[in-house]
Amino acid sequence: MITPFLLENKTILVTGATSGIGRCIVELIISMKGKVIATGRNSSILKELENRYSSEKVTVVSADLTKEKELIQLVESSPSIDGVVYSAGIVNSQPIRYLSRQKLEETMVINFYVPVELIGSLDRAKKINKKASFVFISSVSSLHPHKGGTSYSASKASLDAFVKVLALEYAHRGIRANSISPGMVKTPLYEQARELAGHTSMNEHLSQYPLGIGEPEDVANAVVYLLSDASRWMTGSTITLDGGLLLGY
């Protein structure tokens, strides 16, 4: 069946490809016939991806994106791309009175500065094809804050604002930019947040999801829509995927 959701002849750069949501996105892009440049730091997972798929489907690049040199190497080694999925990210929870500049920066760098630098660098290197689609994994935390979430909520709100500017600046080339704001999704990052928040407070939070918490596939499905020609009229938007959390259940 021909559907507008297929990613045939599209090469997509996926960051955060070694874990959780990003890893699931890699698998779904491949099953929708797209080609992936997968990047992350965990070399054994990258090796696993390389062994599992042929080089026509996946190329892996190991990079710590907070290191300028490694980011530049990633851009230089990349072919021309039809899309970027930015799924790399960290959570740093700290009450405001203990929040240092260093901790703030740690979160802002990988969650916000690096995606801005990555798109700018890819563009300067002329690696972005016409009609490309950029998808950023933001978080519902930008709209639904939690105590201790200053740096995380601010970094994701910045990402949502960036998407709107990006959409405006690149529309004349048919290039689109959107973000997705998931609520809680079952990944290693969720397990880490569970440890930090404590089980009682996490269970209280989970009870606020009318449809329960999400799976990585729930996010990956929306990513495929945004990468595909099915969403050709959509840009500068943020899709909330939260199992109904924002309904205030």
Residues marked active site are found at 152
Interaction with ligand NAP in 199-218: which residues (CB under 6 A)? Answer: none
Binding-site member from 7, 13, 14, 21 for ligand NAP (CB under 6 A): 21
115 is an interface residue for ligand NAP by CB under 6 A: no
Binding-site member from 11, 12, 18, 231 for ligand NAP (CB under 6 A): 18
Compute the distance between CA of residue 138 and CA of residue 62 in angstroms, rounded to an integer: 23
Check if the beta carbon of residue 217 is closer than 8 Å to that of residue 117.
no
Compute the distance between CA of residue 84 and CA of residue 165 in angstroms, rounded to an integer: 16
Residue 59: CB atoms within 10 Å:
19
CB of 249 to ligand NAP, least distance (A): 18
Compute the distance between CA of residue 219 and CA of residue 200 in angstroms, rounded to an integer: 26
Residue 56: CB atoms within 10 Å:
7
Compute the distance between CA of residue 162 and CA of residue 118 in angstroms, rounded to an integer: 13
Runs of H (alpha helix) within 93-149: 101-108, 114-124
CB of 123 to ligand NAP, least distance (A): 20
Placement of tokens 């909330």 in the chain: 240
41 is an interface residue for ligand NAP by CB under 6 A: yes
Binding-site member from 5, 6, 50, 66 for ligand NAP (CB under 6 A): 66
Q: Which stretch binds ligand NAP (CB under 6 A): 143-151, 161-169, 180-188, 229-237?
A: 180-188
83 is an interface residue for ligand NAP by CB under 6 A: no
142 is an interface residue for ligand NAP by CB under 6 A: no
E strand intervals along the chain: 11-15, 35-40, 58-62, 81-86, 128-137, 176-182, 238-241
Binding-site member from 42, 201, 203, 207 for ligand NAP (CB under 6 A): 42
Binding-site member from 120, 188, 198, 210 for ligand NAP (CB under 6 A): 188
Residues that bind ligand NAP (CB under 6 A): 16, 18-22, 40-42, 64-66, 87-90, 110, 137, 139, 182, 184-185, 187-190
